[in-house]
Amino acid sequence: MTVQAYDVAVLGGGILGCTVALFLGRGGMRVAVVERGSLCREASGRNAGGLAIQVKPAALIPYALKSRELWRTTADWLGAEVGFEVRGGLSFAFDQAEAEMLESRTKARQAAGAPIEIIGPNRAREIEPGFTGTAVLATYCALDSFADSTLTGFAYRNALAHEGVAIAENTAATGIDRDGAAFAINTDGAPIRARRLVLAGGVWLVEMARWLGIDIPIRCAVPSMTVTERMPPIFRAIIGVASGRLSLKQAANGTVLIGGGWQGTGNAQRGGLDVISENLIGNLRLAHHVIPGLAGARVARTWLGLEAHTPDSMPLVGPCPESRMPLSLAVSGVAFLTGLWWAGCWPT
């Protein structure tokens, strides 16, 4: 079997792997992306597309702002629009304890440069007439936006091909060996040799890193998303709550996307994703509580995805010190929003 040789092999074709590959290819390297399925179809194709600055930890605010700028300008650097829409985001606190939590988090985020306003419920109702409930406090960030994650895979495939990056879809990496000064990547297709390696396997990064003898502490979460049938316009802002258990937006086609990290069951190795009905009901009840106009909304579909979490919620991005090879870069635990900057700008 012919072994293809590259400057860099990127294992995992989610948004992080694709972005690293694109920027390295553009920088003049011969790059291959090895993806077990199709590009951007795991977490990167199942997410809510939320680009909300106000929910990011304070330490990540500067990167969230830079990444949002990349999302806003995908037509320039990715060659396609991916449904970027600015709606402004509101987050609500419903009791005193939540209000204190929301206020102190917001102050830390403001200090880090996030343009978030702390407002009362009346002002929140002016901004979003669809909110007819009662709240103690709210925050508003005019920059909060979303994109359409289902469009990203197509956009990346075109951009990578245009840049001359080799795309091996439906090809699983099965192990990594050392081959002199290079990495030999075993796959269930043709083997690949590369002088540098990027591990961008999302929740599967744990397994990939073990091939190099490295233990990476990633927790696998199984958040669910629900979409309703099309409805008349009910609300316009991106809606959240202080506890972080709700993300709500109505797309231009009338469907309402409901999320907030309510968990299902599933396992990165065994698969078998499944909804936990109590959690689904909890998510829908909370959505209805905040936007009462959702009464009568009919669920069209619920799905789940596997999401990587690092112990301190900070990105895991950088050379692997233990690998003793020229460069092996691991990227994970970075949300859709902030990930673009980390993956696109950090390595170059």
Instruction: Enumerate binding residues for ligand FAD (CB under 6 A).
Output: 11-17, 34-37, 42-44, 46-50, 172-173, 200-202, 204, 223, 225, 259, 305, 307, 332, 334-337, 339
- Residue 17 beta carbon to ligand FAD: minimum distance, rounded to whole angstroms: 5
- Residue 221 beta carbon to ligand FAD: minimum distance, rounded to whole angstroms: 8
- Residue 223 beta carbon to ligand FAD: minimum distance, rounded to whole angstroms: 4
Report the residue number, 13 or 293, with the smaller CB distance to ligand FAD: 13
- Residue 40 beta carbon to ligand FAD: minimum distance, rounded to whole angstroms: 6
- Residue 62 beta carbon to ligand FAD: minimum distance, rounded to whole angstroms: 16
Report the residue number, 173 or 209, with the smaller CB distance to ligand FAD: 173
- Residue 347 beta carbon to ligand FAD: minimum distance, rounded to whole angstroms: 14
Six-digit token string for 3 = 């072994």
CA-based Rg of the chain, rounded to a whole angstrom? 21
- Residue 237 beta carbon to ligand FAD: minimum distance, rounded to whole angstroms: 15
Six-digit token string for 324 = 């003793």
- Residue 47 beta carbon to ligand FAD: minimum distance, rounded to whole angstroms: 3
Report the residue number, 225 or 242, with the smaller CB distance to ligand FAD: 225
Report the residue number, 46 or 87, with the smaller CB distance to ligand FAD: 46
Phi-psi domain of 263 (left: phi exceeds 0; alpha: psi -120 through 50; beta: other): beta
Q: CA 312, CA 219: separation in Å to the nearest integer?
A: 11
| DSSP-assigned beta bridge partners for residue 263 | 223
3 state SS of 250 = strand
Report the residue number, 12 or 347, with the smaller CB distance to ligand FAD: 12
Question: β-strand 31-34 against 166-168: which pairing, if any?
Answer: parallel
Report the residue number, 15 or 241, with the smaller CB distance to ligand FAD: 15
Q: CA 110, CA 307: separation in Å to the nearest integer?
A: 27
Q: How many CB atoms are closer than 10 A to CB 132?
A: 12
Six-digit token string for 45 = 């194709």
For residue 2, which of 273, 199, 224, 187 has the smallest C-alpha distance?
Answer: 187
Q: CA 150, CA 47: separation in Å to the nearest integer?
A: 9
- Based on DSSP, count helices (H) and strands (E) in the chain, helices before strands: 10, 23
E strand or H helix at 304: strand 299-304
Side-chain half-sphere CA neighbours of 92 within 13 A: 26
Buried b (16+ CB within 10 A) or exposed e, 332-347: bbbbbbbbbbbbbeeb
Residue nearest to ligand FAD (CB): 14
Report the residue number, 36 or 125, with the smaller CB distance to ligand FAD: 36
Report the residue number, 99 or 218, with the smaller CB distance to ligand FAD: 218
